[in-house]
Chains A and B, each alone.
Chain A
Amino acid sequence: DTAVSQTPKYLVTQMGNDKSIKCEQNLGHDTMYWYKQDSKKFLKIMFSYNNKELIINETVPNRFSPKSPDKAHLNLHINSLELGDSAVYFCASSRGEASGNTIYFGEGSWLTVV
């Protein structure tokens, strides 16, 4: 079974649409994250949640809204999609929020905005 799974894996959508990416982890971890990898492969943290509570909220447009219904899920909703949102979005999880807990990544969701 995949430890950190995210859906969809590929998503092509038009500008202005609203879309969601779902993430689930079956590792029993308390902390989950969303990372964005741009076309130059640069990885940057967007959000982290610990036990459904927002811990890290980097400077991202408020069109991006994470939602954590329980500690095993962290979904990413994006409103009014723009061309610049095209990227690979990685969900991840770790046992806790303390520095040093190994972060496990999902397989990524390739978002293309046309």
Chain B
Amino acid sequence: AQSVSQHNHHVILSEAASLELGCNYSYGGTVNLFWYVQYPGQHLQLLLKYFSGDPLVKGIKGFEAEFIKSKFSFNLRKPSVQWSDTAEYFCAVTLNNNDMRFGAGTRLTVKP
């Protein structure tokens, strides 16, 4: 079945550690890719997006993601996490009609 897969359900890191959250999708054709963040009790905020061009995308708050077409992947990275990065992270793909399909989310806990 077509889907968006996030490999890690819960990631626990110490401050200053490097972060990589995996995301793979199984939709064919041209896709648009997104990472959203949801801080506790808050709404979804866009971190970054990829439509075309440079496959390495830089977003807000020091996050970046790399689109690897051959691997159907769009992993999120940050070289040094902070306690304030504790949140739920969602990878998403938009299909026709801007139908956005989300992964199951990865909960990131950063220990001070």
Give the B-binding residues of A (Cβ under 8 A): 31, 33, 35, 40-45, 48, 55-56, 90, 94, 96-108
Contact = CB atoms under 8 A, between A and B. Distances in A.
Interface string B25-67: 0000011101010100011111001010000000000000000
Contacts of B98: 31, 48, 94, 96-101, 103
Contacts of B43: 90, 105-108
9 contacts: A43-B44, A43-B105, A45-B101, A56-B99, A94-B98, A99-B97, A103-B94, A103-B98, A105-B36
Residue with the greatest number of chain A CB neighbours at <10 A, chosen from B30, B94, B100, B107: B100
A33 B99 CA distance: 9
Contacts of A105: 36, 43-45
Contact of B100 (A55, A98, A103, A107): A103
The binding surface of chain B is classed by DSSP as: strand
Given A55-B97, A99-B94, 20 more contacts: A41-B104, A41-B105, A42-B104, A43-B102, A43-B105, A45-B99, A45-B101, A96-B98, A97-B97, A98-B97, A99-B95, A99-B96, A100-B94, A100-B98, A101-B98, A103-B98, A105-B44, A106-B43, A107-B42, A108-B42
Which size bracket describes the interface of B in this complex? Answer: 20 to 34
B90 interface: yes
Contacts of B102: 42-44
Contacts of A35: 100
Contacts of A96: 98
